[in-house]
Structure 1
Amino acid sequence: MANWMRTNRIAAVLLVVVRFYLGWKWIEAGWHKIVDGFSAAGFLNKAIETPVLATGTENAMYPNFVAFLKHFALPNVELINVLIPWGEFLVGLGLILGGLTVTAAFFGMMMNFMFLLAGTVSSNPWLILFGIVVLLAGNNAGKFGLDYYLLPWIKRAYRHIVKRKHPTDPAAPVNRQGVAG
């Protein structure tokens, strides 16, 4: 199944539908926050005050995450107020356009998991499920999108950079570690 998702053209077409659905959900969430204004302060305070509890106890299930919210996210709420709406919007844009598709799906899932760790279920499990489908498909998920053009260009640029750092010319001087350059 995984091989089919990663290589088949029909799978690539079906993934366009998944990408559009997932991307639309992200763009919609981000756009409303950008246009209408957004503050994460209330959400962060509530997540800190009433963390997800371990079953049958009064202990926080994710104490490290609560500490992160309390000591980093809340003191930097202005940064969070920019990162969340624009992150949601850009994840959606990447998925709809098929540009850096796997990266967009990964960061979308990271946001979903952050919201789940804070105690908000909402549509997060559903979006994570679709994100997993996109991740499993790999580059085939963006085959009918910008990735068709972007990924070969990125690959060539990367090879060029690596070649400049590590030339394979036998006449190149070799340092003590035996590396050319």
Structure 2
Amino acid sequence: MSSREVTLRSTVGGFTAEGQLYTLSVWFILALRLMMGLAFVNAGLDKLLGGGFNAAGYLGNAPSSNGSPLADLFVSMSQTPWFMEFMNIAVPWGQLLIGLGLLVGCLTRLAAFWGAFMMLLFYFGNWNVAHGYINGDFAYMPVFLSVAAFGAGRIFGLDRYIEQYEIDGQPLIERYPWARYFLG
């Protein structure tokens, strides 16, 4: 193995996958993180600055009109006042915070998880399988999960420094191993 590649290996359920990760890959991982961060910052800002974001119309109409298998769930959500109040805050601010987290590489795994979750909801809300089950909303889910899996927040990101922050002479990530689920 040359100094330009690293072997990745993972075993799940008795099956082992193995492959080579080349040094150039780090730039693609960074590009994915920044691309998704910018997309979510833009989406969140559009909703916040556009004034009057209200998810009720979308939830109550779009999934039903496009044949989403979760249409009844979305309609039920749209008819629950407290849930709509929550969604009208959570969607634009969630998009903005997820995007900012990815752009600066802070709490990257947490941001990527919530980004993938939002894309799952958008996938079922924007249901369109005319050209197959894989569309842009679906494709973004593994992009977010890849950002998390590769620890993209350590590449020119704040997570690299947060993980090494010392508490009583011990790096944060060693003192609190559970933080790996949020950082990286």
Matched, 1:128 2:136: no
| 2:99 matched residue in structure 1 | 92
TM-score by length of 1: 0.67
Structure 2 portions without partners, runs of 5+: 1-6, 10-17, 129-134, 166-171, 178-184
Matched, 1:142 2:150: no
| 1:79 matched residue in structure 2 | 86
Structure 1 portions without partners, runs of 5+: 54-60, 160-181
Matched, 1:30 2:44: yes
**Residue identity (%):** 26
Higher relative contact order (CA 8 A, sep 6+): 1
Equivalent-residue separation in structure 2 for 1:111 and 1:84 (angstroms): 8
Equivalent-residue separation in structure 1 for 2:55 and 2:8 (angstroms): 38
The Cα of 1:71 is off from its aligned counterpart by: 6.0
Larger radius of gyration: 1
Q: Give the 3 Å change call, closer, same or farther, for CA 95–113 of structure 1 in structure 2.
A: same
Deviations 1:26-83 (A, max 9, x none): 1000011111121111101114644635xxxxxxx237744762565x5421211110
Equivalent-residue separation in structure 2 for 1:133 and 1:5 (angstroms): 15
Equivalent-residue separation in structure 1 for 2:20 and 2:153 (angstroms): 10
Equivalent-residue separation in structure 2 for 1:29 and 1:90 (angstroms): 11
Deviations 1:124-173 (A, max 9, x none): 12322321321331x2x1112011012334425526xxxxxxxxxxxxxx
Structure with bigger helix share is 1
The Cα of 1:92 is off from its aligned counterpart by: 0.6
| 1:62 matched residue in structure 2 | 70
TM-score by length of 2: 0.66
Question: Does the 8 A contact of 2:56 with 2:78 survive in 1?
Answer: no
Query: What is the DSSP-based 3-state SS (H/G/I as helix, E as strand, rest coil) of the residue aligned with 2:161?
Result: helix
Kindly report the root-mean-square deviation, in angstroms, between the aligned alpha carbons of the 2 structures: 3.1
Aligned pairs, how many?
Answer: 149
Query: What is the DSSP-based 3-state SS (H/G/I as helix, E as strand, rest coil) of the residue aligned with 1:76?
Result: helix
Query: Match of 1:43, as an amino acid?
Result: Y
Equivalent-residue separation in structure 2 for 1:98 and 1:2 (angstroms): 23
